[in-house]
Structure 1
Amino acid sequence: MTSQIETFSDKLLGFTLPERNARARIVRLDKVVDDVLSAHDYPPPVTHLLSEALVLGALMGGLLKSKGETAQLTMQAQTKSGVIALLVCDYRGGSLRGYADFDAARLAQLGANPPLSALFGEGYLAVTFETGGGQRYQGIVPLEGDSLAEACETYFSQSEQVPTMIRVASRSGVAGRVAAGILIQHLADGEEGRERLHVRMDHPDWEHVSVLAQTVSHDELLDPDLSLEAIAWRLFSEEDEIRVQPGALLSRGCRCSASYYESVITRFPEEERREMRNDEGIIAVDCAFCAKSFALDL
């Protein structure tokens, strides 16, 4: 494996193991995760959860084959009675955004490190891929396990029948928050780009790859001085070939604008728009993702 320019943070890295029919994505976020989290004063448990969601959004969004501006991955965790009512994250062309709606009073009663079950109760995870060519497919799985990453593994296993292993790590430091992760999949009997003839969760090649991938440590994923290429090499140095595929540059990318909200609100009947206006005749709209406010004279 050779790479003239190494990848460290805020950029996706993809690679394949041709002889094992495996593909992978690795990412490390620092400025991006801080930019997204800075829009709201999230408490530590929500900060940790949303950091994990942003990493997962980047890893899964990096699987999109379409390079069109409208190709998008959306991940939404939701419950009716949980402490966190809604967590949503999406990826489009390297742009990431995320938001969490939660009950602050109930969250404060859970302590410093509440488990996923305490945060969501009986919730579900919806993962939606839009290719940009009019194709859209979605899978919904229960929010079970110890992390969002485990729920995403379940999604790929149940909805796409693709053996998948995901590891995510995050921490806060003096310089801010950093979050990172790796996603690796087995495309049985077909390297990426070729048709998968059948899938076996117990395929010898997948067992070999997944065992090696699980040896990656949180410190390795989060180490700012360790390139993503070096992580891939450490994990799979005994493979004959590792094909590196540099991915998209990542940034916070909220798509809100006055014109967008105007186009949405003008679809409502005049009677409903009248009820939306304040005493000055203005319709005030706040973006949940970036916390920007828009005053619309409609």
Structure 2
Amino acid sequence: MTNTAPTTDLDRVIGFTIPGRHTRGRVARLGPVLDEILSAHAYPEQIERLLAEALTLTALLGSTLKQAEGQMTLQAQTQGGIVSLLVCDYKNGELRGYVQFDALRLSQLGKNPSLFALFHKGHLAITFDQATTKERYQGIVPLDAGSLAEAAQSYFLQSEQIPSLVRLGARRDRETGKWIGGGLFLQHLPEGEAGRERLHVRLDHPEWQHVEALGSTMGVDELADAAIPLESLIWRLFNEEEEVRVLSGADLARGCRCDPGYITGVLAKFPEEERAAMADEAGVIAVDCVFCSKKFPVKLADFVPPPL
């Protein structure tokens, strides 16, 4: 395995396989992308850390899509929780995300609240939308794990019967003070991609136990260290394996898909009287994007058809 990664390795995700262990994996690290997304909101530190980990998880899972125009969405929702809604999505290397929360109740917690303290009783939904076939795959698991990483592992075990390991971490860079998120995603495929049915996967397979034990040693400091190339992380874990194949990766970027044309098109689908009810006294509909916090004023006059 040749190390060709940049000196500062940020906003990138790569895949790899370990044929002799019937294992596939992904490793990702986010930097400026996180800063762009988080800077659009005045989130407190607890929410920034939560969203940073969620976006890293979204990059890991979304990059497994085989079709570039496919979309993966991660949504955590609760009833009565401090965090009422968390949404992230991935499409063709672009990420976006936001969080709705009760600021007053959050202020009463410490700096490192547990997942249960933030969400109480809720669920995590992971959805894969295929671009070409238009098929949708969704799995929902309760948010009763200790972390988002553990909740994602439960999703793959319950929804797809695939033993998986997810490691996530986010911390502020010591020099810049900006967030860096890193993640590792491993899956066991006992007979390879085209192997036996997933329902028959043995969770106690010694090959998987070996890989899982190695992957579990990867800590936050390594995952979120921009000076360590992603290829080096893989090498540190699996350098004693007979063969490790590093696959092509993807660059990551912030990508909010809101624009005036799209918003006007959505509003045009509403009846004229409903659009009028949305507008202010000046005849302007103010549309806010929850992802990027931008405001888009749309005039009612824009919907008037041209004279014949």
Q: When the two structures are superposed, what TM-score results if normalisation uses the length of structure 1? A: 0.96
CA offsets 1:216-273 (integer angstroms, 9 cap, x no match)? 1221112221111111011011101000012111000000011111111111112211
Superposition pairs of residues 216-295 of structure 1, within 5 angstroms:
216-295=218-297
Greater gyration radius: 2
RMSD: 1.2
CA offsets 1:135-161 (integer angstroms, 9 cap, x no match)? 111001101112111111100000011
- In structure 2, what is the equivalent of residue 209 of structure 1? 211
Superposition pairs of residues 42-53 of structure 1, within 5 angstroms:
42-53=43-54
Superposition pairs of residues 74-223 of structure 1, within 5 angstroms:
74-133=73-132, 134-173=134-173, 174-175=175-176, 176-190=178-192, 192=193, 194-197=194-197, 198-223=200-225
Shift of 1:5: 4.0
CA distance in 1, matches of 2:264, 2:201: 47
Superposition pairs of residues 15-34 of structure 1, within 5 angstroms:
15-34=16-35
Gaps of 5+ in 1: none
CA distance in 2, matches of 1:99, 1:210: 31
CA distance in 2, matches of 1:126, 1:277: 34
Shift of 1:112: 1.7
CA contact (8 A) 1:6 1:229 kept: no
CA contact (8 A) 1:169 1:181 kept: yes
Of the structure 1 ranges 57-66 and 216-225, higher mean CA displacement relative to structure 2 is found in: 216-225
Aligned length: 294
CA distance in 1, matches of 2:89, 2:124: 13
CA contact (8 A) 2:5 2:230 kept: no
Shift of 1:121: 1.0
Shift of 1:196: 4.1
Q: When the two structures are superposed, what TM-score results if normalisation uses the length of structure 2? A: 0.93
Gaps of 5+ in 2: 301-308
Provide closer, same or farther for how the CA distance between residues 116 and 277 of structure 1 changes in structure 2, counting only shifts above 3 A: same
CA distance in 2, matches of 1:205, 1:6: 32
CA contact (8 A) 1:10 1:30 kept: yes
CA distance in 1, matches of 2:38, 2:98: 8
CA distance in 1, matches of 2:196, 2:34: 35
Provide closer, same or farther for how the CA distance between residues 5 and 108 of structure 1 changes in structure 2, counting only shifts above 3 A: closer
CA contact (8 A) 1:61 1:92 kept: yes
CA offsets 1:27-56 (integer angstroms, 9 cap, x no match)? 111111111101101001100100000000
Give the residue type in structure 2 aligned to 1:215.
T
Provide closer, same or farther for how the CA distance between residues 196 and 254 of structure 1 changes in structure 2, counting only shifts above 3 A: farther
CA contact (8 A) 1:144 1:150 kept: no
Provide closer, same or farther for how the CA distance between residues 279 and 265 of structure 1 changes in structure 2, counting only shifts above 3 A: same
Give the residue type in structure 2 aligned to 1:125.
L
Of the structure 1 ranges 260-269 and 121-130, higher mean CA displacement relative to structure 2 is found in: 260-269
Moved over 3 A (4+): 3-7, 195-198
Q: Specify the SS of the correspondent of 1:140.
A: strand
- In structure 1, what is the equivalent of residue 67 of structure 2? 66
CA contact (8 A) 1:12 1:247 kept: yes
CA distance in 2, matches of 1:89, 1:274: 32
Shift of 1:16: 0.3
Q: Specify the SS of the correspondent of 2:181.
A: strand
